[in-house]
Structure 1
Amino acid sequence: MTTAPFDCQYCTTSLLGKKYVLKDDNPYCVSCYDRAFCNFCEECKGAIESDSMDLFYKGRHWHKGCFNCTKCNQSLVEKPFVTKYERLLCSECYSNECSSKCFHCKKTIMPGSRKMEFKGNYWHETCFVCEHCRQPIGTKPLISKESGYYCVPCFQKEFAHYCSFCKKVITSGEITFRDEPWHKECFLCSGCRKELCEEEFMSKDDYPFCLDCYNHLYAKRCSACTKPITGLRGAKFICFQDRQWHSECFNCGKCSVSLVGEGFLTQNEEIFCRKCGSGVKTDI
């Protein structure tokens, strides 16, 4: 059955003198339109009929009276709002609930304002300032201390040490030797120039040496095993006249018993316990 040009497209009722709604250039009576095409409110789940304002946002619909902040229930019609986890929030509630707090002034950093982040904390741009000159640091390089954050020029002026080797400022990774500061990369063996920052080392005449260089150049040799004697890590050694021994090497030349803390006898280059040395012509 065809409809007259001004009949409801759905129920064919004449629309002359009646309220109607056009959809896709086709007229519908209000009842048919609401039944066939109306949206449903996200808040109350009721139908948003043609005589009600339908507020639309990101595929969802609300009655005008239902378009409110989910926290304070304030109407959001023609007001700024944000969504979080599909909840509608006014700017104030969003700021109180979701926005970061400034590490310096403890006030909310409002949405849309610029914030600075460093080591998991947040600041207003105007609160993130150098502790010395009080100028905003922004995205410029900074150096942190327990007393606060400093721009590089102020840190160098107030706190920086200068490397004893290259004479340049030390901003991190300082090593102290002879009560003087060094860059890690400048603290080198005086013999082979190897970095010593994570190595054991010895000093001679106030110069640092790696163990290999020190042993080769300066270490005394054990009279028994001929290996270097360094005294590192509390290692003990024995000295007698112009000879030295590792404590574990200071043994009787005949029976190998340890002579540490014991009396001993010598003959030429040999050392003996008293028992083995009895009857032997000795040097002492």
Structure 2
Amino acid sequence: MPWKPPQPDLCPKCNKAVYANEERLAAGKKWHTMCFKCNKCRKMLDSATVTEHEGSLYCKSCHGKQFGPKGYGYGGGAGVLSMDAGKAGSAQMSATVSGPQVTGPVVEGGCPRCGKRVYMAERQVAIGKDWHKSCFNCKSCSKSLDSTSLNDKDGEIYCKGCYGRLFGPKGVGYGIGAGTLST
């Protein structure tokens, strides 16, 4: 029997021969470079963005939209989570969602401003207490503060301007009136 050269693999997309100089590998098969694109949006793929479903190639975005979980928190709706087989209207499982739940390490005690729990990710420290980032502002004018621009009085924090106006010295020569410098 005479020797025969090996036959090239066929591209799953176009069923034509795939030669080494134009091959892309995915899902255990060889594809032409021009056939190696998303089955839905036709975007060209590479090894980092390709996903396979039942012999077809998809970009990660289209694969998630078409075959991934649906519902609130997954970009597919509000209030209901569902998993389906990728066909519209064939929900197999649903559960009511009450809203996002914040979890993580909790700092002891509550925020001095609102009294709620302070998680490490949202923690600001001042005057020996832990504050929420959203509560870390001047009590008088609500200006955002940082550790260098605050003053405290009776457990509350104020910007330097409001602190001086509310609790600083009063009278002639102490900066009350026109021409005053404030910081």
TM-score by length of 2: 0.40
